[in-house]
Copies of this chain bind each other. A is one copy, B any other.
């Protein structure tokens, strides 16, 4: 008797989701299971937008950004009635287990579905923000960082040519993973992340000190979730403190798209396969993550309840290297 797996992507799209979908489908078929693709995340689940997938369905998609299954945010699924409806659709289609590719919102939904209707899910971490416990990196993070870094390199050309300061806002929600990686690799003079609050007066003072040492341009990378506010309010604060010509760049949605990096394609492939293997081995209500090069399954609630620390050593190192 063959097992039937449903797979969907949900929440913000992330590069590498397609590599993960490809791995889910091909691993499942290789193991003798059937795969049903659910379109548009929970929205499609509540509308029965299902489609059988074969190895050929996922040909030539490993290099594509976004998600061929599409995605959405869905309010109705936040209600018990919505989830009951979804569970009914799943049973009707003979789907016995789910692979959910997304972030914490996706996992909360899947967890509720398990508690209320016993439907097993193995999740994979598909989000550029890297803000999930249970995996060193999330699928899409490496691509988003490199995309933002490309923008920083471009801004540095203008900053140097005009001897200006740029405050650059990157994504990351309440977490500073993107900001830290982009700032450290972009040679940013300052990195502002929510995990380690920095006072704007201190930032201002250090920038001015750098000017005295001969620095003629500078770049501050700030996470959208920073306590001092986003780039606009930080720039405003710096202008108020005086002595600096400040420009702002909010990178925004361009960080989500684009062909995934090698690392994201490989991570997506491994975790997609691991999710199928986990499901077939009876795992449920867990996320398949990569920790120190190994596959680790973490209970879904831990992925959002436990806090993955940022690399504070790197943040400290940056204050030395940005001299």
Nearest B-chain residue to A70, judged by Cβ: B161
Minimum CB–CB distance for A168 against chain B, Å: 9
Q: Are B257 and A185 in contact (CB under 8 A)?
A: no
Q: Are A72 and B162 in contact (CB under 8 A)?
A: yes
CB contact under 8 A between A262 and B146, given known A155-B254, A161-B66, A184-B269: yes
Q: Are A30 and B323 in contact (CB under 8 A)?
A: yes
Partner of A153, one of B15, B63, B185: B63
Q: Are A257 and B27 in contact (CB under 8 A)?
A: no
Partner of A253, one of B40, B214, B249: B249
Minimum CB–CB distance for A171 against chain B, Å: 12
Partner of A261, one of B40, B70, B258, B261: B261
Q: A181 contacts the other chain (Cβ, under 8 Å)? A: yes
A158 to B65, CA, bound (A): 8
Give the size category of A's interface with B. 35 or more
Nearest B-chain residue to A151, judged by Cβ: B254
- Chain A, range 47-72, C-beta contacts under 8 Å to B: 55-56, 60, 62-67, 70-72
A42 to B158, CA, bound (A): 17
Q: A199 contacts the other chain (Cβ, under 8 Å)? A: no
- Chain A, range 19-49, C-beta contacts under 8 Å to B: 19, 22-23, 26-27, 29-30, 40
Question: How would residues 7 to 25 of chain A score, 1 for a CB under 8 Å from any chain B CB and 0 otherwise?
Answer: 0010011010001001100
- By secondary structure, the A interface counts as helix
Q: Are A182 and B262 in contact (CB under 8 A)?
A: yes
In the assembled complex, which residues on chain B have CB atoms less than 8 Å from the CB atom of A173?
Answer: none
In the assembled complex, which residues on chain B have CB atoms less than 8 Å from the CB atom of A62?
Answer: 185-187
Q: Are A153 and B26 in contact (CB under 8 A)?
A: no
Nearest B-chain residue to A182, judged by Cβ: B262
Q: Are B256 and A157 in contact (CB under 8 A)?
A: yes
Which of A77-85, A107-115, A222-230, A313-321 sits within the interface?
A: A313-321
A185 to B155, CA, bound (A): 22
- Chain A, range 268-289, C-beta contacts under 8 Å to B: 269-270, 273
In the assembled complex, which residues on chain B have CB atoms less than 8 Å from the CB atom of A252?
Answer: 248-250
Q: Are B262 and A321 in contact (CB under 8 A)?
A: no
